[in-house]
Amino acid sequence: MKNDSDLVKVFTGSEVSGILLKAELEDIGIPALIKNDFQTGISAGFAGGIPYMIDLYINESDREKADPIIKEFKQNNQ
């Protein structure tokens, strides 16, 4: 992945859904990063965020290629 300034959030939802979408994106060659603020807070000794909710990020340069996959995923998992 490129540096954090090139990342764009493409999904917020359950951890399970995020992992599934991440796998779909990586299957077509798009690296993805999951950020879990709740788990990060617990590890640091304080609570923050919502349990089991994550944010999924990809590189801005992959956005156009990823959009159809993300759109279909969201439609099928509402």
Q: What is the predicted pLDDT for the residue at 36?
A: 82
**59 with 7: CB under 8 angstroms?**
yes
Name the residue with higher pLDDT: 75 or 4. 75
Taking only the tens place, the pLDDT of each residue in 20-76 is 999 999 999 999 999 986 444 444 445 555 557 899 999 999 999 999 999 999 999
Contact 49, 40 (CB under 8 A): yes
The one-character DSSP state at 56 is E
Residue 46's pLDDT is 52
pTM over 0.75? The answer is yes
CATH of 4-76, one of 1.10.1740, 3.40.50, 3.30.420, 3.30.70: 3.30.70
Rounded Cα gap, residues 71 and 1, in angstroms: 22
> Can you give the pLDDT at residue 1?
55
Distance CA 76, CA 39 (A): 27
